[in-house]
A and B are shown apart, each in its own frame.
Chain A
Amino acid sequence: MTRCPKQEMWVRYAAAELADRPRRALAAHLESCDACRREVRALARGLEAMERLEREPALRPEMLETLHRRLRVAAANRPQRPRVITLVARYGWVAAAASVLVAALVLNLPKPTAPAVLPGNHQAEAIQEIAAAIELLQLAENGTTPPQPQNLFPGDRTNELNLLLDLDDAGLLLDYLMSQDRLQG
């Protein structure tokens, strides 16, 4: 038998407030757990008991009459505002939220940039470095001991690349290499 779900889950189950998937999981648990079945039965009995109350008790006509009268007085005393102001007061939040969304979308659109052109022999060198970086990441992912960075990246960039490998993000590494080449170019 699997571990029993929390009592609160059974409340939601008995009250039919769970989505299909968790509901099915709990139903499967019930098939093998007497204690939880008893629990759910008790909760369902509690809910059934509530159903014996009158959900919409009749109101005295005098009370309803008074209520209507008071509501009419309140309506008459409402400040007369143009409909547009009422709509703005009620739905203004929708317009505000939409504006923020549109602004966020516009500001996040990628700005057109000129393609990066790497000078002469830097291009081939950069491609080699990128391929090596990807290979290194794949090896690290597979749990294989990566080769020593100095074999792949000669020169003084070894330490920087080791730091970047910690980020475990090939995208960042590629960006980094490209920017370095651009700077040097």
Chain B
Amino acid sequence: MTLRDSDAEEQRLVAYAPRVYGLLVRMVGNRDTAEDLTQETLLRAFRAFETYRPEGKFRAWLFRIATNAARDWLRRRPLEPALGLDADWPERASASPRRQSRPEDRLLGGERASKVEAALRRLPAPDREVLLLRYYGGLAFNDIAKVTGEPLGTVLARAHRALKKMAELVPEE
């Protein structure tokens, strides 16, 4: 392993940081946690780079690490009233000391996205996960099935349910 390899890997991973963060913040519903998990995901990927096999899709590999990190966190976290994209999000996020320097952070994507975020929060977590992996990971449903460890039929059924719900909850522009 040369320094040059490490630099290239670092750049490649950091380029994905915003998308990984986008996925994680909507999986765990908390921005500080999502930041920590983004770092954790990219560090895990960096350490595991030597085991990454180029025959697979890099994005699928990376987003599997991110999804597992979020799932682990959701399993381990202290019992709190809300699940998934918590009801306390983004209020808790805006109150975080880390966040006070960034007022535009109140909503990701601004007002236009707020209705979409509200609709996403109403989806069951596994259905939401499929949409998020498709949107942030840019993954095909086949790859999402590999990432989530579910059969393709189940993933497609989840996507079908989730998309119809989104269409119902988000008014047309």
Contacts and interface: CB of A to CB of B under 8 A. Distances in A.
Nearest to A80: B1
Interface residues of B, number: 61
Interface in B44-101: 46-47, 50-55, 98, 101
A57 B52 contact: no
Interface string A29-58: 000000000000011011101101111111
A57 B25 contact: yes
Interface of A: 7-8, 10-12, 14-15, 17, 42-43, 45-47, 49-50, 52-60, 62-64, 66-68, 70-72, 74-75, 78-81, 83, 86, 89-91, 93-94
B115 to A, nearest CB: 8
Interface of B: 1-3, 5-6, 10, 13-14, 17-19, 21-22, 25, 35, 38-39, 42-43, 46-47, 50-55, 98, 101-102, 105, 108-110, 112-113, 115-117, 119, 131, 134-136, 140-141, 153, 156-157, 159-160, 162-168, 170, 172-173
B3 A53 contact: no
Nearest to B3: A75
Nearest to A78: B1
A15 B133 CA distance: 13
Given A49-B170, A90-B52, A59 B18 contact: yes
Contacts of A15: 134, 141, 159
B interface SS class: helix
Contacts of B116: 49-50, 52-53
15 contacts: A7-B157, A8-B157, A42-B164, A46-B164, A50-B134, A50-B135, A52-B115, A52-B116, A53-B116, A54-B22, A57-B21, A57-B22, A64-B14, A74-B47, A83-B1
A44 to B, nearest CB: 8
